Amino acid sequence: MRLKAVYPGSFDPVHNGHLDIIARSSALFDEVVVGILENDGKSGLFTVAERLDFMRRVITQANVRVVTFHGLLADFMKAQGARAVIRGLRAVSDFDYEFQMALMNRHLNSEVETLFMVPAEEYTYLSSRLVKEVARLKGDISRLVPAMVVEALRARLG
């Protein structure tokens, strides 16, 4: 039996904390599907197509596939034939929300198991929201995101 996991998120933009979780989960599973959520109710800084392109360009693991999805994660899991959801936990404050989501996903699809991963220590404070805020204020984000994302943020934010 092949072990397949899904790592869902908006990834707006992808940062090194995401890449750390992807690299470490790819060592644990036969296949990892990075699912970029298409959320019609939320507009991001980057389009879904741009986020998909960024992610595909920075993923180096052969057993990682990047796709977009919309709707319920539980339905996406079924469509992918995956049972494990990978979620990163940076701080205790993340746990409350992620715990609720894990229980709801299990309610919607009883075969779904959520696995929480803690990012590498240097990324425990990192979020896409924080990266965008620092970039808006012209701070140095070069050690937080891939080089192409640095350039894209500079171009988008001025």
Q: Does 39 have pLDDT greater than 90?
A: no
**The model's pTM:** 0.94
Q: What is the pLDDT of residue 52?
A: 97
pLDDT digits (tens, 9 = 90+) for 41-99: 778 999 999 999 999 999 999 999 999 999 999 999 999 999 999 999 987 778 989 99
Q: Which domains does the chain have, with CATH numbers?
A: 4-124 (3.40.50.620)
pLDDT of residue 16: 97
Q: What are phi and psi of 64, to 5 degrees?
A: -115, 130
Q: Which residues carry out catalysis? A: 18, 42, 90, 128
Residue 40 — pLDDT band, cuts 50, 70, 90? confident
Average of per-residue pLDDT across 18-39: 97
